[in-house]
Structure 1
Amino acid sequence: MGLNKDIKQKKFKSEFEKTVVNLIYTRNWLDEQQQKIWKPYGLTTAQYNVLRILRGQHPEVCTVNLIIERMLDRMSNVSRIVDKLVSKGYVSRIPNKKDRRADDVLITKEGLNILDELDSSLQKLFDQINSFSDEECCQVNSFMDRFRGTTPD
């Protein structure tokens, strides 16, 4: 089904408006698909994002500020998210040696194991929905970068 049928809208003011609505709709659809994967692990999108950031830094520790800079959703309360992940045993807080008021964050073995399991499930989802060539993906990435007014990598 196309966007018009999916949201039961016959016309848009312009193709650009349709593109904006399509991006929002598709982002929400993809988020729903991913949440089905994370739900059995008790994870949210933001928590998953923090775990991926920490895995990328592993085995080095990560500051909360670095996590904030790298978050996909910058509106997230990273300290609260880290606390939730600590309570689940997926990350640990370590006192910062240079600043006693700050903590560093490190992903635990349990957190790494959970990500390994999630990687497999996410890959299955990606395999199901990917009908694009690498060249087409590069084009879409370029379009999205331009959409945000940034220069492609």
Structure 2
Amino acid sequence: MNVEEIIKTNKQIPLVSRTLIHMSLVEHKLNEVVSNALKPFEVSLQQFNVLRILRGQKGKPANLSTLNERMVTKMSNTTRLVDKLITKGYVDRVTCESNRRKVEINITTAGEKALLEMDKVMKKSEHAVVKNFTEDDLKLLNKLLDKF
């Protein structure tokens, strides 16, 4: 990915600016690839992440706070994401009888099945994105990104 070609400039971009622009372009491309992979399932990346978090609970319910804490992309609209997943039949929400302010969210069997199918296309997409990297390249990239 050549930054100068993408933003159509012949000017020398200062290294720090070029790096940040480059990272932004990579993020945009990754989001595009992932969104396209999930499009057939009519699920957003954020909804996919909620489903993965709930599966990771191994049958234990989660609440909105837990979901927010574990989301890759922090956001305030987790309630809306859960509502959309309820509409699709992928999760259910139960109000705790002893504390009506406490809401428990679980992945449904349909959600688990759909997530297994999403996992397959996501794995293909992930491998397509990093196909030009060696394992050592990926380790180095992760080491550099850890510096953030």
| TM-score by shorter chain over 0.5 | yes
Cα RMSD for the two superposed structures:
1.7
Distance 1:50 1:115 in 2: 10
The match for 1:74 is 74
AA in 1 matched with 2:74: R
Could you give the per-residue CA deviations for residues 17-65 of structure 1, whole angstroms, max 9, x where no partner exists? Answer: 1111111111111111111111121111211111111111121111110
The match for 1:143 is 144
Q: After the TM superposition, which segments of 4 or more aligned residues of structure 1 sit over 6 Å from their partners?
A: none
Structure with higher RCO (Cα < 8 A, 6+ apart): 2
Distance 1:45 1:35 in 2: 6
Contact 1:46 1:76 in 2 (8 A): no
Any residues of structure 2 matched to 1:2-151 within 5 Å, and which? 2-11=2-11, 13-96=13-96, 98-130=98-130, 131-146=132-147, 148=148
The match for 1:151 is none
Contact 2:37 2:125 in 1 (8 A): no
Structure 2 unaligned blocks of 5 or more: none
Identity of aligned residues (%): 32
**Equivalenced residues, count:** 147
Distance 1:54 1:111 in 2: 10
TM-score, normalization by structure 2: 0.90
Contact 1:60 1:106 in 2 (8 A): yes
Structure 1 unaligned blocks of 5 or more: 149-153
Q: Relative to structure 1, is the Cα distance of residues 31 and 76 closer, same or farther in structure 2, using a 3 angstrom cutoff? A: farther
Deviates more, 1:93-102 or 1:103-112: 93-102
Could you give the per-residue CA deviations for residues 91-131 of structure 1, whole angstroms, max 9, x where no partner exists? Answer: 01122355321211111111111111111111212222322
> Aligned with 2:140: secondary structure?
helix
Contact 1:67 1:78 in 2 (8 A): yes
